[in-house]
Amino acid sequence: MSEPGCLFCGIVAGEIPSQRVYEDERTVAFMDISPATAGHALVVPRRHARDVLEIEADDLAACTATAQRIARQAVEMLGAEGVNLLQSTGRAAWQTVFHFHLHVIPRYAGDGWTIKPQTQERARSLLDGDAQAIKDAVASTD
């Protein structure tokens, strides 16, 4: 199932060119056209889902397995020293294409790509206040 006008649905359907590196019955992996580092790839489900809140659990599992496969190859074939998996849901989290995708970002010493953490005081206040609220919300959905 695809969504009209969705960039990644167009890539999955082969209507929009991409540098595919892997595909199977559930997922497609291709190179990011604005790479954070050498070897930066994206993994998407064939079936359209807007984000992590909407994706079916089996498609999420398939995307994760494909991301692991791509990450292993980045380490083996590209000499990456580590890998970040990044998934963004919503504009506030930097999502720009509203089709679920996992970024597989190979990491190299000194590559300069960073995510700025909170200050220690801010992090502590977030932990203290939010941990219980999340714990209670998760428990109520079981």
Catalytic site residues? Answer: 101
**Helix %, strand %, coil % of the chain (to 5):** 35, 20, 45
State the burial class of residue 80 (Cβ atoms within 10 Å of its Cβ: 0-12, 13-18, 19+).
Answer: buried
Contacts (Cβ under 8 Å, ≥6 apart) of 16: 7, 10
